[in-house]
Amino acid sequence: MIGELGRRSAAALLTHSALIQAVTFLVRPAATYRALELDVPGFALGLLAASYAVFPLLLAVPTGGLVDRLGERRLMAIGSAVVLACSVFLLLWGSSIVALVIGTAFLGAGQLACVVGQQAVVANNAASSRMDSAFGYLTFAASLGQALGPLAISLVGGASVRPDTQAIFFLSACMSLVLFVTTFGVSAKVSGGKRKAAAGDSGGQGGVVSLLRTPGVARALATSATVLAVVDLTMVYLPALGSERGLTAATVGLLLTTRAVFSMVSRLLLGQMARKLGRMRLLVFSLALSTAALSAAALPMPVWLLFVVMAVLGLGLGIGQPLTMSWLSAQAPAGQRGRALALRLAGNRVGQVVLPSAIGVAAAGLGAGGVFLASAVVVGGTLLLLRGVRLDG
C-alpha cells in the first residue's frame, strides 16, 4: 500500500508502472534488432537511442505543470494513448531507420507522461518518512516491467540470433492496449484534494527553480541522468554485443531480464538500506558496483559470467533513480512536486540525448564492448561529481 491510495488504486498504479516499462523495454530492443536487419551503421544505433529522449526533453517541464493542474490519471491516460499509437505505427510502418527514430521518439513522449503521472501520485500521497519506501515500490514495479519486456523477446526470438521483430511489435501493441485500460483503475479523485490544499500552502517555500539552485542539487540530478542514460545504453547495445559474440536473441533477452530482476531486488529493499546506510553512502556504493560491472562487460567472457555481471549491474543501477526521486520530492514545495519531478526528468532526458550519442561516436571503432567501457568511465566520474553533496536529512 502506498500512502492513502487504497488497494485498487495502488494495484492499478503499480500495474501501470510495470506495463509502461515492459512495453518500452520490449519495443526499444526490437527497434535495435530491426535496425540491425536494415544494416544501419553503428553510429545510427546511438542516434536511435538518443531519439527516445528528444521529445520528452522538450515536453518534460510543461508536462510537470500539466499534472499539477489536470491530475495524474488524465496525464497517464494521454501517455498510454500515445504509447499505443506508437506501437501500432511501428507494427505497420517501422521498416526504415527514419520510421524507427520517429516511433521511438514518440514512445519516449508517451512514456514521459505516464511516468510523471505515476511519480506525482506517489509524491502527493506518501508520508515523508516513507518516501524512500514508496518510490522503492513504484520503481520495483517498473523493474518488473523491465524484466518482462526482454523476457518476451526471449520467448518470441527463441534460438535465433535476430528475433521476429514484426511479432514483437504486434505483442507491444496488445500490451499497450492493456496499459491504456489499466489507467482507469486509478481513482480520478486520488490526491486531488491534496493538490488543492498544497497549492495554497506552498507560496512561502520558494519555487522549484530556486530548489534547483540549492548547492548539490544539480550534481545529484546529473548523477540521476547518468544512471538512466546507462540503463538506456545497456538496453540498446547489449543486443549489439550479443550479435558480435554470437549470442541468441533468447540469451540477450535473459541477460536484460537478469539486470532488471536484480534492480527489482535492490529497490524492494531500498527503504531499509537507506535507513541503515544513509542515502549518500548507498548511492556511492551503487555507483561503484555499476562502474565495476560495466567495465567487466566490455571484456570477453563465458556467457554464465556475463549473467553474473548483469546481476551486479542491476543491483547498482537500481538504486540511483528512486533515491533521487524521494529526496527531490521531500525537498520540493508540496504543491509543485509534479513540476519538480518533471524537471528531474528533463535533466534525465538531457543525459539520454547527450550521453548515448557522445559515447556511441567516441566508441564507434571499438564495437559494443567499447560502449560499455566508455559507460563505465562516465559512471565512475559521477563519484567525483558527488563530492560535497548531501542527500541525507
Which amino acid makes up residue 386? L
Give the distance, in angstroms, between the CA of residue 275 and the centroid of all CA atoms in the same chain. Answer: 24
Place of cell 545529484: 220
- Sign, Cα dihedral of 267, 51, 298, 255: positive
Which segments in the chain show pLDDT lower than 50?
193, 196-197, 199-205
The rounded distance, in Å, linking the Cα atoms of 131 and 337 is: 13
* Residues 6 or more apart whose Cβ sits within 8 Å of residue 338: 64, 65, 66, 67, 68, 116, 119, 120, 123, 124
- The CA distance from 38 to 300, in Å, is 27
Degrees to nearest 5, angle at CA 61 with 88 and 174:
20
Nearest Cα to 217, choosing from 343, 66, 380?
343
Residues 119 and 260: their CA atoms lie apart, in Å, by 19
Going from the C-alpha of 211 to that of each of 111, 149, 382, 385, the distances in angstroms are 25, 36, 21, 19
CA gap 206, 204 in Å, rounded: 6
Domain 8-182+206-385 sits in CATH at 1.20.1250.20
What local confidence, expressed as pLDDT, does residue 89 receive?
98
Q: Considering just the CA atoms, what is the radius of gyration of the chain in Å?
A: 19
2 phi/psi in degrees, rounded to 5? -115, 115
What integer pLDDT is reported at residue 290 of this predicted model? 92
N-terminal to C-terminal alpha carbon distance within the chain: 24
How do residues 313-343 score in pLDDT, each as one tens digit? Answer: 999 988 877 887 777 776 666 666 677 777 7
Q: What is the DSSP string of 129-144?
A: GGHHHHHHHHHHHHHH
**DSSP state string for 325-374:** HHHHHHHS-GGGHHHHHHHHHHHHHHHHHHHHHHHHHHTGGGHHHHHHHH
DSSP code for 205? G
Torsion angle, alpha carbons of 141, 144, 146, 150, to 10? -160
* Residue spans per domain, the chain: 8-182+206-385
Length in residues, the chain: 393
The pLDDT of residue 192: 55
Phi, psi of 87 (to 5 degrees): -60, -45
Give residue 255's pLDDT: 92
> Which long-range CB contacts under 8 A does 345-348 form with residues at least 24 apart?
345/56, 345/60, 345/64, 345/112, 345/115, 345/116, 346/56, 346/57, 346/60, 346/61, 347/221, 347/222, 347/224, 347/225, 348/53, 348/221, 348/224, 348/225, 348/228, 348/229
| Residue 300 burial (10 A CB sphere; 0-12, 13-18, 19+) | exposed
Q: CB of 337 within 8 A of CB of 120? A: yes
DSSP run (H or E) holding 5: none
Choose among 20, 187, 116: nearest CA to 329.
116
Predicted pLDDT at 330 = 67
Helix or strand run (H / E) with residue 244 = helix 217-244
CB 343 within 8 A of CB 356: no
Exposed, middle or buried: residue 185 (CB in 10 Å: 0-12, 13-18, 19+)? middle
Crossing angle of helices 42-70 and 72-93, rounded to 10°: 150
